[in-house]
Amino acid sequence: KQEVTQIPAALSVPEGENLVLNCSFTDSAIYNLQWFRQDPGKGLTSLLLIQSSQREQTSGRLNASLDKSSGRSTLYIAASQPGDSATYLCAAHTGTASKLTFGTGTRLQVTL
C-alpha cells in the first residue's frame, strides 16, 4: 500500500528565501507524481506533474524533482513571496484505479 509523507508539516520563511519542500513515498511503482497548492477554503491547484520517466519539471519559480529509486520528490521554490503562502500537497499516482495517494501537506507561510 502506497504511503506518502511530507516533511515538514509547517514552514515559515522570510520573503525572498529559496526553499525546499520534501515528499517521500513507499512504493516506487508510480505513474507520476503531482504537486498541488491549496489555499484556505479553496480547492486544489495543480502546480507540476512529473512523469515516472522524468527527473524534474519546472514552471516559473517552481522546480520539482523526482527520484523513484529513493522514493523522494522535492519542490523547490525560488525567491519566495507572501503570495506563495499556502498548503502544498504532493500526490503519487499509482494503480489501475488511477488513485492519487496524498501526503498531509506542508503549510508554508512567507513573511514580509
Q: Which residues bind another protein (CB under 8 A)?
A: 4, 31-32, 34, 36, 42-46, 49, 51-52, 89, 91, 93, 96-100, 102-105
Residue 64's CB is within 10 A of a number of other CB atoms, namely 24
Task: Match 506542508 to its residue by C-alpha cell.
Answer: 106
Q: Among residues 71 and 103, whose Cβ is nearest to another protein? A: 103
State the nearest-atom distance from the C-beta of 110 to another protein, in Å: 23
As a whole number of angstroms, the distance between CA 61 and CA 26 comes to: 28
As a whole number of angstroms, the distance between CA 65 and CA 1 comes to: 23
Q: Among residues 32 and 63, whose Cβ is nearest to another protein? A: 32
